Amino acid sequence: MIGQQYLLLPGPTPIPDRVLQAMNRPMINHRGPEFRDMLNGVTGGVKGIYGTKENLLIYPSSGTGVLEASVVNFISPGDRVLALSIGVFGDRFATIAQNFGAEVEKISFKWGEAVDPNLVQEIIQKDKNKQIKVVLITHNETSTGAYNDIKAVKQAMYDHPALLMVDCVSGLGALEFKMDEWGVDVALSGSQKAFMIPPGLGFMAFSDRALDTHKKNTNHRYYWDVTAGLNYLEKGQTAFTPAISLIYGLQEALVMMAEEGLDNIINRHRNYRDMVRQALRELGLEFLASDRHASTALTAVLAPGGSGANLIRGKMLDRFNIALAGGQLNLDDVMFRIGHLGYVRELDLLAVIAALEIIMLESGFKVELGAGVNKAQKYILALNTKD
């Protein structure tokens, strides 16, 4: 008997029962009044999570779909694009822009680190003729467990007119993000990370300034065309058939997020990060990302001795039904990733730390049973006295 899986991936993430039940409803007419009210409600709710009063469209799509949607709507072939990459997803955004005809200059930073705003400032200041049309960046780099200071990067751009487009698929709802306040033009997200609903919805928020660019855009598009999307949204509809069941789920998830409060959600994720890092350090484990850039959505843990992460993951799954993510590309087997975003509780993390101690001991690593759990328990106790 192993019971329900402990799903600790950086997406898909666990689904609350309330959300599962909300989705278990009959279909309705997506061109009728009931859907209109629901769409208007969830559009407002997701805007609230973004911190924007500007435009938002919801698509049936994975996260990558809306990355592509942002490229075809806001980047024209031949546009100069500055792509800032700190990992797999930063690279992906750059590749999509390239595939749709942009002249991409990609600046890569060491994996585990964040974009250096000073370097951005240097590049931007050299662009006297304002040739750079768009800057691409990842909010939370899921492949490395590091995050970027989007506010600082925007400040480093001063009054340069380039659009700032941010992949916040795994960051939104887990890390602080303030689209309007920070001056972000386009921000992409998805359902299966911090939103606590299954994969299948993509969110695209964009400023009116981005919309002006869109009107002059020459890239090919049809399904993703934001003009069509906005025209339908005015009637309380989507241009094409929406993922109605997922929108039922989104509606309930937004209620849960409002009950908890966005600031509390962001704090909770920060506490998870600190608790996990402190506990695993007691076991002698190290991380790909330094403390300074460590994401609150997930922790990328280096395998002791440089390899064997997949063995640990395999045993965690076989023995305890705990699903952890592996490393991507050349980080395969070098590290494993613990997702702690969305519907994850302290208790889940305590359980994972306890299980990891057993598996590591069984695998021949020197760990003191209870050392990590003890640290985590103390962390939780200290939190409760602080409140």
Ligand X SMILES: *Cc1c(COP(=O)(O)O)cnc(C)c1O
What ranges make up the beta strands (E) of the chain? 6-8, 55-60, 80-85, 103-108, 132-138, 140-141, 146-147, 163-167, 186-190, 201-206, 286-287, 298-302, 322-326, 335-339
If binding is defined by CB under 6 A, does position 170 make contact with ligand X? yes
Of the candidate spans 21-29, 57-65, 145-153, 337-345, the one that interacts with ligand X by CB under 6 A turns out to be: 57-65
Kindly identify the residues of this chain, within the stretch 246-305, that bind ligand X according to CB under 6 A.
Answer: none
Tell me which residue of 173, 93, 115 sits closest to 343, measured CA to CA. Answer: 173
Q: How many helices (H) does the chain have, and how many strands (E)?
A: 14, 14
Of the candidate spans 59-67, 98-106, 221-229, 351-359, the one that interacts with ligand X by CB under 6 A turns out to be: 59-67
If binding is defined by CB under 6 A, does position 238 make contact with ligand X? no
Measured from the CB atom, is 9 or 353 closer to ligand X?
A: 9
Measured from the CB atom, is 217 or 295 closer to ligand X?
A: 295
Amino acid occupying residue 78: G
Measured from the CB atom, is 35 or 147 closer to ligand X?
A: 147
- Number of other CB atoms surrounding residue 26 within 10 Å: 6
If binding is defined by CB under 6 A, does position 64 make contact with ligand X? yes
Q: Which of 62, 70, 73, 238 forms a contact with ligand X (CB under 6 A)?
A: 62
- Contacts with ligand X by CB under 6 A: the residue count is 11
Of the candidate spans 62-70, 259-267, 316-324, 326-334, the one that interacts with ligand X by CB under 6 A turns out to be: 62-70
Q: Which of 51, 112, 145, 190 forms a contact with ligand X (CB under 6 A)?
A: 190
The total number of residues written for the chain in this structure: 387
Q: What's the rounded Cα separation, in Å, for the pair 120 and 107?
A: 9
Measured from the CB atom, is 90 or 372 closer to ligand X?
A: 90
Amino acid occupying residue 226: V
Q: Minimal distance in Å, beta carbon 189 to ligand X?
A: 9
Tell me which residue of 151, 259, 138, 152 sits closest to 193, measured CA to CA. Answer: 138
Q: Minimal distance in Å, beta carbon 200 to ligand X?
A: 9
Kindly identify the residues of this chain, within the stretch 338-377, that bind ligand X according to CB under 6 A.
Answer: none
127 contacts 158 by C-beta, under 8 angstroms: no
Rounded (10°) angle between helices 208-216 and 63-74: 60
Of the candidate spans 60-68, 176-184, 241-249, 367-375, the one that interacts with ligand X by CB under 6 A turns out to be: 60-68
Cα distance between the two ends of the chain: 38
Measured from the CB atom, is 70 or 138 closer to ligand X?
A: 138
If binding is defined by CB under 6 A, does position 198 make contact with ligand X? no
Measured from the CB atom, is 136 or 279 closer to ligand X?
A: 136
Taking CB positions, which residue lies at the least distance from ligand X? Answer: 63
Q: What's the rounded Cα separation, in Å, for the pair 40 and 37?
A: 5
Measured from the CB atom, is 300 or 373 closer to ligand X?
A: 300
What ranges make up the beta strands (E) of 86-121? 103-108
Q: Which of 73, 76, 85, 138 forms a contact with ligand X (CB under 6 A)?
A: 138
Neighbouring-strand partners of residue 106: 83
Q: Minimal distance in Å, beta carbon 72 to ligand X?
A: 16
If binding is defined by CB under 6 A, does position 167 make contact with ligand X? yes
Cα dist from 138 to 13, 60, 90, 149, whole Å: 20, 21, 6, 10
DSSP secondary structure, 26-57, as one string: ----TTSHHHHHHHHHHHHHHHHHHT-SSEEE
Q: Minimal distance in Å, beta carbon 188 to ligand X?
A: 8
Measured from the CB atom, is 62 or 207 closer to ligand X?
A: 62
- Number of other CB atoms surrounding residue 178 within 10 Å: 13
Q: What track of x and - describes contact with ligand X for positions 70 through 89 (by CB under 6 A)?
A: -------------------x
Measured from the CB atom, is 62 or 85 closer to ligand X?
A: 62
Q: Which of 96, 169, 288, 335 forms a contact with ligand X (CB under 6 A)?
A: 169
Question: Rule CB under 6 A: which residues touch ligand X?
Answer: 11, 62-64, 89, 138, 142, 167, 169-170, 190
